[in-house]
Structure 1
Amino acid sequence: MLIDAHIHLDQYREEEVPNILKEAQLVIAVSTDLQSCKKTLTLSQTFPNVKATFGFHPEQSLPSDRDKQALFHWIRLHAQEMIAIGEVGLPYYRKQAQDLDERPYIELLDQFIQLAKELHKPIVLHAVYEDALIACDLLERHGVTRAHFHWFKGSEEAIVRMIHNGYFISITPDCVYEAEIQALIKRYPLELMMVETDGPWPFEGPFEKARTSPYMMAKTIDVISSLKEMTVQEAAKIVTRNTERFYDL
């Protein structure tokens, strides 16, 4: 029974949630906007093994100033009911599809990092490839060290910097069939690693057409243990302890 360090629990059908939660010791349920935050809060109040994080997913249009103010106000009101700010970050994949001015997204991420510092909370980041370096700049500027880069992919420069700063990453089920993620597992210290599903995002390979849920993390642990040359039990114990330590669980 592992901890799913990153799942969009609010995006599952209501009737699916109880069975999904039977597959994990605990889940970190992230949010994508104010409505998502409210739903995630309700889920955390309903199920004891759901821990909520509140944020705004960057792969969407920016909120209006009014909506942003409402979101930040709501997060401050409910700060004691969340374990982190998240999911927040930069719109890497959105930039690949359209000509996009990233500066307002960087400004918004900067504000979320300041909010995490103000509330003494960790921050959950969607920041991959070159965006990871921008996120590192902002984190370092504000002296924020409790950063979790979920489903991270990036350059050696970013990896070296993240390891030096003690930032955590989480590994997804695509490590079973993606050489890039397998190489990352070999490179990154196990002591800074968690596992996640990012459900309900779908996966390929042996998970083709399967509903994404925490049971998939067992395969992730198999890969981690093999690449780190240790037993499955040892790997599971370490990544679970890492997650508990990072999120003060």
Structure 2
Amino acid sequence: MKPIIDAHIHLDLYEAAEIEEIMAGLENAQCTDVISVSYHLDSCRINLQLAETYHQVRPAFGFHPEQELPSDHEISQLFSWMENHAEDMVAVGEVGLPYYMRMEQGAGFSLQGYMELLEEFIKGAKRWNKPIVLHAVYDDAPAACDLLEKHGVKKAHFHWFKGDAPTTERIAENGWFISVTPDVLYEQEIRGLVQRYPLKQMMVETDGPWRFEGIFSGKMTHPRMIHQSVDQISSIKGCPPEAVYQTLYANTKEFYRLNGR
């Protein structure tokens, strides 16, 4: 095995015993860092505590879009807290647009408030000089691209990206990154994305505690699963595994500015 980094995990959403198990197994898995993204303000606080406890945890702070919008007061509290802890985060995230919730709720769903909140996070990322981690898939991805281009964002990470070919090309042409989960072993959609997307703009993630199917069915999601993802990416790309490991690892270290560790 070669060194890996889990570029996107919700470590704070695991049970306490599971967190201990994951962190105890990182060295054996050769996982040097995990980027633990946040769901809301309480999640941000927990991720900061985890980062203070475990040197491998690199926290990102934000508000996951697949939930009801926070009140103005809650937004103000979150941004104030992030401002005070800007030096503690490696990125703004997870932020974005609520595609799955919008599909569930139907035509009456209003995206406007989510667009406005995402733009505020983009402005914050620019102000704090941080990368931004995005949940923006399918029909919502072009709208996110519009906002990123409007504000001249250079460092954007579309985690577990799914979308059409023109949007995929647009993301690549802007120099933005995507990350690949273990479902690359069994989802043709993701395998096709890996085939098309430049390796030099790719990372790997688990999005744990989200659980996977196939050979991972019934198993707790752990960063060690990334090794199977890398093997699959190597096969799809027709590149030697050593080169793929090296590129993915270097991509993530550079994107999240982990080289000083």
Q: Please, what TM-score do these two structures have when normalized by structure 1?
A: 0.98
Amino acid at match of 2:7: A
**1:55-70 to 2 correspondences below 5 Å:** 55-70=62-77
Deviation at 1:59, TM superposition (A): 0.2
Deviation at 1:232, TM superposition (A): 1.5
**1:94-105 to 2 correspondences below 5 Å:** 94-99=101-106, 100-105=109-114
Q: Which residue, 139, 146, 151 being the options, matches 2:160?
A: 151
Matched with 2:56 is 49
Instruction: Give the SS at the match of 1:85.
Output: strand
Instruction: Give the SS at the match of 1:25.
Output: strand
Q: Please, which moves more after superposition, 19-28 or 53-62?
A: 19-28
Matched with 2:225 is 216
Matched with 2:16 is 14
Amino acid at match of 1:35: D
Deviation at 1:19, TM superposition (A): 2.6
Summarize deviations over 1:140-163 as a string: whole Å, max 9, x none.
Answer: 001111000000000111111111
**1:68-79 to 2 correspondences below 5 Å:** 68-79=75-86
Amino acid at match of 1:173: P
Q: Which residue, 190, 193, 206 being the options, matches 1:181?
A: 190
Matched with 1:241 is 250
| Aligned-partner Cα distance in 2 for 1:19–1:230 | 33
| Aligned-partner Cα distance in 2 for 1:77–1:244 | 24
Aligned length: 249
Q: What's the RMSD between the two structures over aligned residues?
A: 0.8
| Aligned-partner Cα distance in 1 for 2:242–2:100 | 35
Amino acid at match of 2:169: V
Q: Which residue, 159, 165, 180 being the options, matches 2:174?
A: 165
Identity percentage of aligned residues: 52
Deviation at 1:188, TM superposition (A): 0.2
Instruction: Give the SS at the match of 1:135.
Output: helix
Q: What stretches of structure 1 move > 6 A for 4+ residues in a row? A: none
Q: Please, what TM-score do these two structures have when normalized by structure 2?
A: 0.94
| Aligned-partner Cα distance in 2 for 1:44–1:185 | 31
Amino acid at match of 2:252: T
Matched with 1:129 is 138
Deviation at 1:15, TM superposition (A): 2.1
| Aligned-partner Cα distance in 2 for 1:38–1:117 | 22
Deviation at 1:215, TM superposition (A): 1.1
| Aligned-partner Cα distance in 1 for 2:193–2:169 | 11
Amino acid at match of 2:11: L
Deviation at 1:183, TM superposition (A): 0.3
Amino acid at match of 1:68: I
| Aligned-partner Cα distance in 2 for 1:60–1:232 | 38
| Aligned-partner Cα distance in 1 for 2:120–2:206 | 27
| Aligned-partner Cα distance in 2 for 1:136–1:143 | 10
Amino acid at match of 1:92: Y
**1:105-120 to 2 correspondences below 5 Å:** 105-120=114-129
* Unaligned ranges ≥5, structure 1: none
